[in-house]
Amino acid sequence: MTSNAGVPVQTAGLVKRFRSGADRITAVDWLDLDVPAGQAVAVTGPSGSGKSTLLHLIGAIERADGGTITVGGKEVTKLRRAELAAYRRGIGFVFQRYHLLPALTALDNVIVPVLPYRGRGDHAARARELLDAVGLAGRERALPAQLSGGEQQRVGIARALMGEPGLLLADEPTGNLDSATGGQILDLLLRLRDTRGMTVLLATHEQHLAARCDRLIRLSDGTVVEDIDLTDGEDPAATLDRASRLRL
Ligand SMILES: Nc1ncnc2c1ncn2[C@@H]1O[C@H](COP(=O)(O)OP(=O)(O)OP(=O)(O)O)[C@@H](O)[C@H]1O
């Protein structure tokens, strides 16, 4: 199995505003973040605090109104349209709703994002290897409706890995799953991070999952209000309890 080099992620003075009727909402408000390569960061905070918007900005799904985003040394905010497409291909996205195409098999769902770049046959072997890596060997021909929620999310993760991403952005990937299955999905993401060296940003409301990452940041009103290192040797849950400040 290949090992991808994880990429560092930095934001400085990042700002994103949305218009909502006559109002302007500041979804991300002067947000500074520095994530070293290979770190798994839980992005937490109440509903509306800017978690998804932050991930969308870093993944160049949304464009920032101010500030900079640097990923793997590249300043994303300065990329032109053609460069942005190439940049997005190097990032793995995992969503809460798996966004699988219902008429396609698990294998073809994994291949779809890279289909424009070479033929299906060229990608099938790698897609099989990835389905195997996420625990779905033998289910290549299943349709999404024949798979459980957890299995569908595994397909979504295999699909995200097709571009050999240095960065995985996971937005509430366990939000539609029961607690045990959600735990298994996090196990998988952390294992893939270990074997492939990716940087992982995981937006989550679930404290027990957040506590298993290397680091936890908490957003409030679009900015980082807490930044906790969970690798200091103490039991992460104890670290969080001791701080008694986790309000996910
Ligand atoms: N496309 C949009 N148009 C207008 N407002 C938006 C848009 N996207 C997000 N917002 C607003 O920006 C703020 C941040 O939203 P965001 O989805 O990033 O929060 P979140 O922390 O991910 O929330 P949740 O936990 O509920 O998913 C919210 O006030 C939201 O209503």
Determine if ligand 1 sits within 6 Å of the CB of residue 175. Answer: no
Beta strands in 119-183 (DSSP E): 167-171
- Which own/partner contact pairs does 22-26 have at CB distance under 8 Å and 24+ positions apart? 26/221, 26/222
DSSP code at position 83: H
Convert the pLDDT of each residue in 114-142 to its tens digit: 776 666 667 899 999 999 999 999 999 99
Query: Atom 28 (ligand 1): residue with closest C-alpha?
Result: 48
Q: How far is the CA of 205 from the centre of ligand 1 (A)?
A: 14
Nearest CA to ligand 1 atom 16: 50
Is 20's C-beta closer than 6 angstroms to any atom of ligand 1?
yes
CA dist., res. 107 & res. 238, Å (int): 41
**What's 228's domain CATH number?**
3.40.50.300
Does a structural domain hold residue 32? yes
Compute, in angstroms, the gap from residue 57 CA to the centroid of ligand 1. Answer: 12
Q: What is the pTM of this model?
A: 0.91
Q: b/e for 172-194, b at 16 or more Cβ within 10 A?
A: bbbebbeeebbbbbbebbbebbe
Q: How far is the CA of 22 from the centre of ligand 1 (A)?
A: 16
pLDDT of residue 1: 40
Domain interval for residue 98: 9-243
19-72 per-position pLDDT tens digit: 988 899 999 999 999 999 999 999 999 999 999 999 999 999 999 999 999 999
Whether residue 29 is contained in a domain is answered as: yes
User: Does residue 4 lie in a domain region?
Assistant: no
Q: Using 50, 70 and 90 to split pLDDT, how confident is the model at 197?
A: confident
Residue 156 within a domain: yes
Q: Which of 14, 16, 17, 18 to probe ligand 1 with, by most ligand atoms within 8 A of CB?
A: 18
Give the number of the atom of ligand 1 that is nearest the alpha carbon of residue 53.
Answer: 18
Quote the ligand 1 centre to 50 CA distance (angstroms): 6
Residue type, 53: T
Number of domains present in the structure of the chain: 1
Any domain includes 248: no
CB 91 within 8 Å of CB 59: yes
Encoded tokens for 84 = 């942005």
Answer yes or no: is 202 within a domain: yes
Average of per-residue pLDDT values in the chain:
89
